[in-house]
Structure 1
Amino acid sequence: MKLLRNKIIILVSIASLVSVGIITFIHLYFSSSVERIKRSYAESQVQLLQNHIIANSAITTDALIYLSENKDIQPCQIEKNGLPQDIGDRLAMAGFSFVIITKPGFSPIAGFPKDDEGIYKMIPADRHIFNKALSDGKVTMYYQWKNDSLFELSAIAVPGCVQSKTDSIGAWIIAGRYMNEELTDRLIMQIPGRISVQRTPEASGSYFNTKTNVFISILPLYGWDNLPAASLRIETQPEIMEVLSVQQKSLLIILIVMISAFLVFIYMYLNRYYILPLRLVSLALKQKDPEYIRMISDTDPDFNSLQNMLINVFNQERLLSDMMKRRSSDHMNSFHAAILSKISEAVYATDHKGTITYWNKAAEDLYGTTEPDAISKIAQVLIKNKWKNPEEEQHMTESLRSSGIWQGRFIQELPDGSEINVEASISCLYDNNDNLLGHLTIVRKPYR
């Protein structure tokens, strides 16, 4: 008896160790999932910020392309007539703060505002370096500081002018807009958090501040030389991360409570049905008193007999129920077949492959084919349906696919080779899972 009790104790110990292992595994797995969510969220913030910048710059890009197509903005016209009088209004409508027209080597031809000499300092200093940073599209964007203000500049190449004639070497139109407040004000409405523009550029990336529970994402903004000129810094404290942290702690507590309850249940169950009976048997053997054995009610052999009897009763009941259902189903099928056999119209059914599965008496009379000869035949081979035009056949196919029923007229070629005009109704047959079982066709007598 002592050996059995020791084995039960070992079983409880193993269950405890396994439970602790399960708790540890679930906790570690959930923690790793939370970390993956955090990393994905941080990466999505950078991508979202970049997409918003592209979207906000798309309008000015289109505006610059439209502006460059105006003939009075072309370098040749500007050298002759100067900038148009309404250039300020055009720039304001396009969202630009200034514009510069340069020669191919970035020597300025004209600029607006005329009295702002600082705008010329934002022209690329080296044409060769700038050419390496050109965008794949028409417009190349870069960022440049002017004092403490950040500007977004858009450059587009246009035909140049040599000796007052249009030249294909190319000149440049560079338009800029003030970005510091505008960028922050626009993006803060679309991205929850705090966005700031930093003069000292930082590498692109994201990280999580565990002390403040804040996600920090950095997106660099590049200058004309394809080097970072500034960077955007976004700090967010999403509620979902706080919820995940709370859920992680709650899950750990729930797991500990559940495992503890499970271990208590296992101990009580084993104590009631195994340890206690073993103690009673041991006492009965030591005291030589059979009353201890009679106290073990669950070891009564009648319990097994009753259990076996109930299993047999349930099996017999299930068998009887299946027989009654089968008999009822067979009776109903016979009843339906009897009804169809009395219908004056020809009725036949096919499975989803087109094989005939039912053929009533009226069908025998109409087509001159008995039921045994028709069953298992392909309907389209035994009775060929013909149409006056392909559109009618296409209409039938679409009607069956959409509504499951079709009514109309067509020509049928009988097994003897003769043809008759018929009016038919075809219905789709489905099972309980809406899978197509076949079709039911009702054909009325030929009309003239």
Structure 2
Amino acid sequence: MRIIQNKITLLIVITTLVSAILVTGIIVQTRVAHRIVSETQAVSESNALRLTFEVNARQHDKLLKNLAGTDGLSPRVLLANNDPEQFRQLFETYPISFIVVTDSALIPIATFPKASAGILRALPTDPEAFRKFRSDGLITRYHEWINDTLTRIAVIDIPWYPGISGDPASGLLFAGFPVSADELSYQIQGNAKLMREPLALPLTQTISEGKVITQLPLFGWRNIPVASLWLEKPSEILNSLNDYRKYFIWFLVICATVFVLFITVYLKRYYMWPLRMFTLAIKFNDPGYLKMVRYRDKDLASLQQMVMNVFSHERLLNDMIRRRNSENLNAFHAAILSQISDAVYATDHKGIITYWNKAAETIYAVNEQDAIGKIADELIRSRWDDPHDEARQQELFYTDGFMKGSISQELPNGTCIRVDAGITRLLDCNGNLLGQLYVARQTEARPVI
């Protein structure tokens, strides 16, 4: 019984471990799905930030093109008349921090407003390197820090003489536009900030508190990052996903706990307690139980098998009922055969006697206990009176499975009797030989010569 109790305890432990593994696997899968959605959301927000940044830059590019068409900004006119006051209204109307006009060698010709050290440091100093950096388009953009303000600087070619666009001699127009983190925060409905030192972090990074952080590096004219634009934005999708994930994990934990408790209570109620009753019966020498064990009661064996295998109740009960019905039917048939006066005995496919009725005991003078398990042809030697009849009956036996006739039989005590015998071949549902059934009626007895 202790072995069975240990097996039930082991079953409970295994069930608990399997439930824990399943819950852990589902939690890991949901975390992976959460990570994928977070990264997708971060990429989407990063693209939105890039698009907003690009839209603002395109508006500034349009303004720069209009400035490039102004005759007063051509290098030739500025060399003749450099009056900063003529552009005061331009600075008051548009978000421009400075305008610088240089020749092709990047030497400043005019600066509006008055040139400062911060503005001059923002201009490129290597004409050859800047020529390689410039894009194939009409306008080139880069970023530089002027004092504590990050400035987007747009560059466009302007003709040296006003109104002459095909002149090979040309200058460069630099226009600075301040980058405002507050304006970006308002446009994208998030928290944007500018960082002077660019960090070597991935382009997108997601945090688990329902917020998305995206990073956009900003490059200078040497094609080196000079700043980073960071966006921190609450995500309704991530908040909803976090809530769903928490509820789902709690649901799984509760379901697994309830399942383990149910298995534990069920096994204790229907198996552990009966086993304790069995143990107590053995301990106090219950006569009824000990008698069942001593005589190997089949119902008790089925009950023990059912306890050993907790998931086969219906099959075991059906087997028990079927066996009881079969045993009752066999007992009924045996009672009928025991009442007839003809000798009836049966053998298996090897010729070993498996059944021996009362009339057989009387006719052959052999008890049932002595006959069961013996080979029929060795216990009772038979011969046909007519050899021709024997051959014909043998042929019928192999074709039809039945033969009958008058034969002489020598008993174990040496006497010889004459009987009318009928022999039937017993087959199973697949046609395989099970054994033979003998029915004999004594007709005459005579001593052996």
Q: TM-score, normalised by structure 2?
A: 0.52
- The amino acid that maps onto 1:220 is P
- The amino acid that maps onto 2:200 is A
1:75 and 1:161 in contact (8 A); partners too: yes
Q: Which residue of 2 aligns with 1:63?
A: 63
- Between the aligned partners of 1:44 and 1:166, the Cα distance in structure 2 is 44
Q: Which residue of 1 aligns with 2:106?
A: 106
Q: Which runs of 5+ in 1 are unaligned?
A: 306-448
- Between the aligned partners of 1:262 and 1:231, the Cα distance in structure 2 is 53
Higher mean alpha-carbon deviation, 39-48 vs 101-110, is at 39-48
1:158 and 1:170 in contact (8 A); partners too: yes
- Between the aligned partners of 2:115 and 2:107, the Cα distance in structure 1 is 16
Q: Which residue of 1 aligns with 2:199?
A: 202
Question: Could you say what secondary structure the match of 1:167 adopts?
Answer: coil
Question: Could you say what secondary structure the match of 2:167 adopts?
Answer: strand
Q: Which residue of 2 aligns with 1:48?
A: 48
- Between the aligned partners of 2:198 and 2:19, the Cα distance in structure 1 is 51
Q: Does 1:226 align with 2:226?
A: no
Task: For residues 31-68 of structure 1, give each alpha carbon's deviation from its aligned partner in whole angstroms, at most 9, with x where no partner exists.
Answer: 33334444444444444333321121110112212332
Higher mean alpha-carbon deviation, 229-238 vs 275-284, is at 275-284
- The amino acid that maps onto 2:248 is L
Following superposition of structure 1 onto structure 2, how do residues 236-275 of structure 1 map, counting pairs within 5 Å?
236=233, 238=235, 241=238, 244-268=241-265
| Shift of residue 22, structure 1, vs aligned partner | 0.3
- The amino acid that maps onto 1:195 is A
Higher mean alpha-carbon deviation, 100-109 vs 230-239, is at 230-239
- Between the aligned partners of 1:227 and 1:268, the Cα distance in structure 2 is 69
Question: Could you say what secondary structure the match of 2:260 adopts?
Answer: helix
- Between the aligned partners of 2:68 and 2:158, the Cα distance in structure 1 is 7
Q: Which residue of 2 aligns with 1:350?
A: none
| Shift of residue 160, structure 1, vs aligned partner | 3.7
- The amino acid that maps onto 2:21 is G
- Classify 1:89/1:49 alpha carbon distance in 2 versus 1 (closer, same or farther; 3 Å): same
Q: Does 1:14 align with 2:14?
A: yes
- Between the aligned partners of 2:277 and 2:131, the Cα distance in structure 1 is 96
1:100 and 1:174 in contact (8 A); partners too: yes
| Shift of residue 70, structure 1, vs aligned partner | 3.9
- The amino acid that maps onto 1:105 is A
Q: Which residue of 2 aligns with 1:96?
A: 96
Task: For residues 296-341 of structure 1, give each alpha carbon's deviation from its aligned partner in whole angstroms, at most 9, with x where no partner exists.
Answer: 998987xx99xxxxxxxxxxxxxxxxxxxxxxxxxxxxxxxxxxxx
- Classify 1:161/1:103 alpha carbon distance in 2 versus 1 (closer, same or farther; 3 Å): farther
- Between the aligned partners of 1:116 and 1:266, the Cα distance in structure 2 is 84
- Classify 1:209/1:52 alpha carbon distance in 2 versus 1 (closer, same or farther; 3 Å): same
- Classify 1:146/1:275 alpha carbon distance in 2 versus 1 (closer, same or farther; 3 Å): closer
Question: Could you say what secondary structure the match of 2:22 adopts?
Answer: helix
- Between the aligned partners of 1:55 and 1:166, the Cα distance in structure 2 is 30
- Between the aligned partners of 1:65 and 1:52, the Cα distance in structure 2 is 20
1:73 and 1:83 in contact (8 A); partners too: no
- Between the aligned partners of 2:71 and 2:291, the Cα distance in structure 1 is 119
- The amino acid that maps onto 2:257 is S
Q: Which residue of 1 aligns with 2:152?
A: 152
| Shift of residue 234, structure 1, vs aligned partner | 3.5
- Between the aligned partners of 1:166 and 1:10, the Cα distance in structure 2 is 92
- The amino acid that maps onto 1:257 is I
Following superposition of structure 1 onto structure 2, how do residues 243-322 of structure 1 map, counting pairs within 5 Å?
244-268=241-265, 286=290
| Shift of residue 243, structure 1, vs aligned partner | 5.4
- Classify 1:43/1:166 alpha carbon distance in 2 versus 1 (closer, same or farther; 3 Å): closer
Q: Which residue of 1 aligns with 2:24?
A: 24
- Between the aligned partners of 2:146 and 2:261, the Cα distance in structure 1 is 73
- Between the aligned partners of 1:222 and 1:165, the Cα distance in structure 2 is 30
- Between the aligned partners of 2:28 and 2:71, the Cα distance in structure 1 is 67
Q: TM-score, normalised by structure 1?
A: 0.52
- The amino acid that maps onto 2:140 is T
Task: For residues 112-154 of structure 1, give each alpha carbon's deviation from its aligned partner in whole angstroms, at most 9, with x where no partner exists.
Answer: 23x3445444321111221222134221111222222322211
- The amino acid that maps onto 1:106 is L
Q: Which residue of 1 aligns with 2:141?
A: 141
Q: Which residue of 1 aligns with 2:438?
A: none
- Between the aligned partners of 1:300 and 1:278, the Cα distance in structure 2 is 19
- Classify 1:111/1:271 alpha carbon distance in 2 versus 1 (closer, same or farther; 3 Å): same
- Between the aligned partners of 1:190 and 1:286, the Cα distance in structure 2 is 89
1:60 and 1:94 in contact (8 A); partners too: no
- The amino acid that maps onto 1:147 is N
- Classify 1:209/1:76 alpha carbon distance in 2 versus 1 (closer, same or farther; 3 Å): same
- Between the aligned partners of 1:134 and 1:74, the Cα distance in structure 2 is 21
- The amino acid that maps onto 2:225 is P
Question: Could you say what secondary structure the match of 2:50 adopts?
Answer: helix
Q: Which residue of 1 aligns with 2:75?
A: 75
Following superposition of structure 1 onto structure 2, how do residues 144-183 of structure 1 map, counting pairs within 5 Å?
144-160=144-160, 167-179=167-179, 183=180
| Shift of residue 178, structure 1, vs aligned partner | 2.6
Task: For residues 201-225 of structure 1, give each alpha carbon's deviation from its aligned partner in whole angstroms, at most 9, with x where no partner exists.
Answer: 3335355678x99765443322222
| Shift of residue 29, structure 1, vs aligned partner | 2.1
| Shift of residue 242, structure 1, vs aligned partner | 5.6
1:204 and 1:219 in contact (8 A); partners too: no
- Classify 1:201/1:2 alpha carbon distance in 2 versus 1 (closer, same or farther; 3 Å): closer
Among residues 185, 188, 193, which one is paired with 1:188 in the alignment? 185
Q: Which residue of 2 aligns with 1:446?
A: none
| Shift of residue 84, structure 1, vs aligned partner | 9.8
Q: Which runs of 5+ in 2 are unaligned?
A: 282-287, 307-312, 323-449
- Between the aligned partners of 2:232 and 2:50, the Cα distance in structure 1 is 15
Q: Which residue of 2 aligns with 1:127?
A: 127
- The amino acid that maps onto 1:203 is A
Q: Which residue of 1 aligns with 2:393?
A: none
- Between the aligned partners of 1:300 and 1:207, the Cα distance in structure 2 is 62
1:160 and 1:166 in contact (8 A); partners too: no
Task: For residues 384-412 of structure 1, give each alpha carbon's deviation from its aligned partner in whole angstroms, at most 9, with x where no partner exists.
Answer: xxxxxxxxxxxxxxxxxxxxxxxxxxxxx
